[in-house]
Amino acid sequence: MTASDVEAARFARQLGLAAVGEAGLARIRGSSVHVVGAGPVAGPALLALVQAGVGILYLDDGADVGPFDARTWLCTPAQVGQPRVLAAMEALRAASSLTTVRLHATGTRSSAALVCAETQGTATLASERERTAGVAHVVALASDEGGAVISIPPGAPCIRCASRPGASTQPRGGMAAAIGNLGALELLLLIVGAGAGASEGRRVELRDGRLDATPTLRRPGCDCHVVY
């Protein structure tokens, strides 16, 4: 079996999608993605991106594995106390040898990013770093019974324009995984150029079981239209 046969078998389901096809798969395979976070939102997203065949994944997380981090789907109880980013790397490499998984370092250049920071403030800082570097990215924020995922292609309204006021609460049950997967989904659509979020930016909100996208609009006075 050649390398291309292995990839055709692995990614047969994506190749079967008109919105992806061979051209979309080539864009996914050629992408390098910086993921901020390795917690309960980022973990399922990281697995989805590795399984989708992203070319290079850069991991960026400063926490140690805690007693509840099996909920990241990446860590085991035996890894408690270890750097979470190393536990994540081990799990992702076991999931697929077709993606290169590396630690993110200052100066690393990626073609896209997914921000799964656990607070709005950290997410805003990370998102602004990506936007000012001209990197297409998605921000995923979970709350108790829902959350929001914001797509920010270059030139689209920024995270501050797209954010809504609200208390930050810990996601319950499967909400972190739902928002993480939604974040990975929006990022893949952005990479393959499918959906309105890929060109204009949008916010998909999950609330009380409802899932709906709205285009993001630039706030009056925001200077995020400035291209650096």
Partner 1 sequence: MARTLEDRTVLVIGAGSLGGPAALVLAGAGVGRLVLVDDALTNSADLSAQPALAEVDLGRPRAAALAAQLTRRFPAVVAEPVEAHFGGASAARLVAAADVVVDASSEPAVAFAANDAAVAAGKPFVHGGVLQLSAQVLSVLPGETGCLRCLFERPPAPEDLPAGLAAGLLGPLAGLAGALMGHEALHLLQGRPAAYAGRLLAYGARAGQGRLVPVRRRAGCEACGGAPAKEEASP
By rule CB under 8 A, what string of x and - marks binding of each residue 6-45 to partner 1?
x--xxxxxxxxxxxx-----------------------xx
Sequence-separated (6 or more) residues with CB below 8 Å from residue 118: 37, 39, 41
CA distance 223 to 10: 43
- E strand map for 106-180: 112-115, 136-143, 146-152
Single out the residue of 22, 30, 77, 103 in contact with partner 1 (rule: CB under 8 A).
77
Single out the residue of 67, 165, 209, 221 in contact with partner 1 (rule: CB under 8 A).
209
Q: Which is nearer to partner 1, 121 or 173 (CB)?
A: 173
Q: Quote the least distance from Cβ 81 to partner 1, whole Å.
A: 16
CA distance 108 to 45: 20
Single out the residue of 54, 178, 190, 224 in contact with partner 1 (rule: CB under 8 A).
178
By rule CB under 8 A, what string of x and - marks binding of each residue 46-75 to partner 1?
-xxx-xxx----------------xx-x-x
Q: Which is nearer to partner 1, 155 or 215 (CB)?
A: 215
Single out the residue of 26, 63, 80, 213 in contact with partner 1 (rule: CB under 8 A).
213
Q: Which residues make beta-bridge pairs with 115?
A: 36, 139
Q: Determine the interface stretch with partner 1 among 56-64, 115-123, 157-165, 175-183 (rule: CB under 8 A).
A: 175-183
Eight-state DSSP code of residue 65: P
CB 150 within 8 A of CB 162: yes
CA distance 72 to 84: 10
Single out the residue of 35, 184, 190, 191 in contact with partner 1 (rule: CB under 8 A).
184
CB 93 within 8 A of CB 70: no
Eight-state DSSP code of residue 170: P
Q: Which is nearer to partner 1, 51 or 111 (CB)?
A: 51
Single out the residue of 22, 30, 94, 222 in contact with partner 1 (rule: CB under 8 A).
94
Tokens for 148, please give them.
Answer: 């929001």
If one asks whether residue 157 binds partner 1 (CB under 8 A), the answer comes out as no
H-assigned helices in 40-158? 42-52, 84-95, 120-132
CA distance 72 to 178: 12
Tokens for 103, please give them.
Answer: 């630690």
Q: Determine the interface stretch with partner 1 among 58-66, 126-134, 153-161, 200-208 (rule: CB under 8 A).
A: 200-208
Site residues, partner 1 (CB under 8 A)? 6, 9-20, 44-45, 47-49, 51-53, 70-71, 73, 75-77, 91, 94-97, 172-175, 177-178, 180-182, 184-185, 188-189, 194-197, 202, 204, 208-213
